[in-house]
Each structure stands twice: as structure tokens, then as C-alpha cells.
A = this chain, B = another copy of it.
């Protein structure tokens, strides 16, 4: 592989841009709004496809999460299909919920002529409301017939709930003179918190690799992307990130090879781009906020401080008002558990110093307000306690978050 071929660039596309994938979406009636897309099928044509998944750490995992975890093990990562619905999370739904997930996989497998263990299932939406299999089973034959590269773009729409925009990222590189693609879609707006966010994300690539390699690369990419965003500190019952690698690009990622670092870079780019899209689209959010902590004693200290700031409702409401309230940022850093000397901490927004050595930096209020009143804001905290850094992405906390969540039953 030539040096020149190692760069990844973001390109237009969808889940079917990588070779070997087809998909389709349908309106099954799970969502109340007539004609709303709420069901999708993603399929990989290659029998050599490898799959890997990362799922919620919540003790209360939804039926589709439990089934997908099991199928990845049973099929030894040989999964080739994903059935995903929005509008109902099929969580806290007891034995009926398990039955629905299993029936979905069984029916899809029959239509696609693969083993039921090769089908993964994902759901998102309201918790605790029964989801009967009928609406899904009724649409599966149509979805199987509709599978195409052209209809894959609609899948990003079909997985949304309170999201205001669909989220897709495709990257392209060249290896041995041939193009290689990684594509990803995601949904998530509330219940967004590391380990993991309320979040579904599906990734396809035409690079080839073993199951363990794909899983390890996925875990590493998640650590620097989906595990670095927070909207409200709630970790949902349904979080699922699933990747399928068709291997049709004739490029194989192998351990120890520089191809591993190359592919990891592309995968992390896709995951980070999607993660930032989720933070930016946080329920009621008006801005994407990058919290960057530098000068920490250890990576853990940097992460603790960044997460405490990004999770603080007081910091996030101040951000909603574009209010340069650096005292709340210092306060959150203070209770984060990170070690630092309060008389050395600096805080800035974009390039404007708000706090120097723990006290007011003497900034102009109107200027600071203008710096904060942007679609993208960088909050930078220097602890002057070491050399470690960490980034976390979050959003502001507005009245609209309350309005959405006081009424939405999820």
C-alpha cells in the first residue's frame, strides 16, 4: 500500500457506498405519523462478511440488544443482515419482547436464506410499551424485495426518533490503487451519555478483516467518539453500534500491519463525525460545544474534568444563554475528582481568556457573549498540572429539552 493511498476523505454517499451492501426502508405503522419511515433492512451480499457490535452497558438491556449480542457469538461474527425499527425500543417488554426480536430475526433469515443467527436486530423509541411482531413481519417481504443500493439512503431517516436531522458519514481511501469505503449512519438526541449514548449506529465497509480485528477496531473508535459525547447523562437501554465488513474491496486489514492504523483512522473519523452530529443535534440544542481539558496530571484526570464540565446542567444552561459564566466551569472542574491547584487554572472560550490563574481574566462581557453565541464553541480548560488532555463533545441545555422530555414517552 502506497503512502499516498493512506489518507481518508469525507465523500457523499450512504451505507451502500461500500461494495456489497443493499438496504431499504419502510413505514410499518410503529410510528404513529402516517407514512413515517420506521423500519429498515440492511443486507450484505458477501457470504464472507464479518460483523461486530458494541452495545449498551445498562443492566436493563432491551430484547434486541440481548438477541444481537447472542447472534454475534453464535454465528461467530458471520452476521449479514440488520433489521432496525424506530418508534418503539422493545425494552422492558418481557417475554413478548424477546419473542418479537426472535421472530423478526427468524422471518428475515428465511426471506434472505441465511441462518437466523446471522440477523441482528435493533430498536429505538418508547420504553415499556409492547412491540408485537406483526407490523414488522408484514413489511419484511417488501423490504427484501426493495433491497437496493439506491434505497439505502432512506435508512438514515428511518432510524430517527426525536432527532431533527439524519446523520450519515462516508469516507473514502485508496489501497493498492482501488477505492475503499467506510460508511456510517447514526441516530440519537436524548439519553445520550458514554457507555454508550442512546444511540443506534450502523457502519458498513468493503475492507476485509477478521471478526476480532473488526471488534477491536470498533471498540477503539468508540472510545474516541461515541464515548466522548454527552447530552443529558442518561445511558439508554438500547444503544447499539454494529459494523459489517464485506471484504469486497480486496483490501484486508491484518494485525501488526500498517493497514490496521490506516483503517482505524478512517473508522475513527466516521465515528467521530457521527458522534459530533449527535451532540450537535442534542434535544433542544442550539450549539455544539467541545470541552477540551489540557495540562492534566493524567489522561483519567483530563477525562474526569472534561466529562464533569460537559455534564454540568449549570454549565450547559449558561451556554444556552451564551453567558460567560466561567465560575461554573471552574466549579465543575473542582468536583470532578481531577487533581489541580485552583490558583493555576485557566479557562477560555474559543481564543478569549475568561479566567486566568483561578480568577477573572478581565474580559469584555459583550465580546465573551458574542464568542459563546455561535453554532460551535470551544471551551478550553488548562489545569497546569501535567501534560494530559481530553476532549468531550456536548451541547447546550435549553427550554426545548424540557419541553421535548416533559411530554415524550420514551
Taking CB atoms, residues of chain B closer than 8 Å to A61 are 334, 342
Residue from B59, B233, B359 in contact with A94 in the complex, judged by beta carbons closer than 8 Å: B359
Taking CB atoms, residues of chain B closer than 8 Å to A102 are none
Taking CB atoms, residues of chain B closer than 8 Å to A233 are 233, 311-313
Taking CB atoms, residues of chain B closer than 8 Å to A237 are 327, 330-331, 334
B320–A406 CB distance below 8 A: yes
Within A242-294, the residues touching B (CB, 8 Å) are none
Please give the distance in Å from A90's CB to the nearest CB on chain B.
Answer: 11
The answer for the CA separation of A212 and B409 in the assembled complex, in Å, is 51
Whether A128 is near chain B, meaning CB under 8 Å from some CB there, is yes
A318–B236 CB distance below 8 A: no
Whether A106 is near chain B, meaning CB under 8 Å from some CB there, is no
Given contacts A59-B340, A331-B58, contact A128 B323 (CB under 8 A): no
Please give the distance in Å from A281's CB to the nearest CB on chain B.
Answer: 17
Whether A92 is near chain B, meaning CB under 8 Å from some CB there, is yes
Whether A140 is near chain B, meaning CB under 8 Å from some CB there, is no
Interface 9-residue window, one of A25-33, A37-45, A150-158, A396-404: A396-404
Please give the distance in Å from A58's CB to the nearest CB on chain B.
Answer: 4
Taking CB atoms, residues of chain B closer than 8 Å to A340 are 59
The answer for the CA separation of A89 and B328 in the assembled complex, in Å, is 12
Whether A139 is near chain B, meaning CB under 8 Å from some CB there, is no
Taking CB atoms, residues of chain B closer than 8 Å to A92 are 326-327, 330, 342, 355, 358-360
The answer for the CA separation of A237 and B232 in the assembled complex, in Å, is 23
Residue from B357, B359, B402 in contact with A317 in the complex, judged by beta carbons closer than 8 Å: B402
A402–B402 CB distance below 8 A: yes
Interface of A is mostly: loop
Q: How many monomers of this chain does the complex have?
A: 2
Within A119-150, the residues touching B (CB, 8 Å) are 126-130
The answer for the CA separation of A405 and B321 in the assembled complex, in Å, is 8
Apart from A92-B326, A127-B331, A190-B314, 19 more pairs, CB < 8 Å: A59-B340, A60-B331, A60-B334, A60-B342, A61-B334, A92-B330, A93-B359, A94-B358, A127-B325, A128-B360, A129-B360, A232-B312, A232-B313, A233-B312, A234-B314, A235-B331, A237-B334, A317-B402, A318-B405
Closest 9 CB pairs of A and B: A127-B327, A321-B406, A60-B334, A317-B405, A128-B327, A94-B359, A58-B334, A235-B335, A59-B334
B330–A128 CB distance below 8 A: yes
The answer for the CA separation of A405 and B126 in the assembled complex, in Å, is 30
A335–B406 CB distance below 8 A: no
The answer for the CA separation of A57 and B334 in the assembled complex, in Å, is 9
The answer for the CA separation of A345 and B58 in the assembled complex, in Å, is 14
Taking CB atoms, residues of chain B closer than 8 Å to A58 are 331, 334-335
Taking CB atoms, residues of chain B closer than 8 Å to A335 are 57-59, 193, 234-235
Whether A333 is near chain B, meaning CB under 8 Å from some CB there, is yes
A interface, how many residues as a size bin? 35 or more
Whether A332 is near chain B, meaning CB under 8 Å from some CB there, is yes
Whether A75 is near chain B, meaning CB under 8 Å from some CB there, is no
A359–B128 CB distance below 8 A: yes
Residue from B318, B345, B407 in contact with A321 in the complex, judged by beta carbons closer than 8 Å: B407
Whether A216 is near chain B, meaning CB under 8 Å from some CB there, is no
Taking CB atoms, residues of chain B closer than 8 Å to A338 are 59
B406–A330 CB distance below 8 A: no
Taking CB atoms, residues of chain B closer than 8 Å to A126 are 327
Chain A positions 57 through 89: 1 when the CB is less than 8 Å from some CB of chain B, otherwise 0: 111110000000000000000000000000001
The answer for the CA separation of A312 and B402 in the assembled complex, in Å, is 12
Given contacts A326-B128, A355-B128, contact A331 B405 (CB under 8 A): no
Chain A positions 349 through 368: 1 when the CB is less than 8 Å from some CB of chain B, otherwise 0: 00000010111100000000
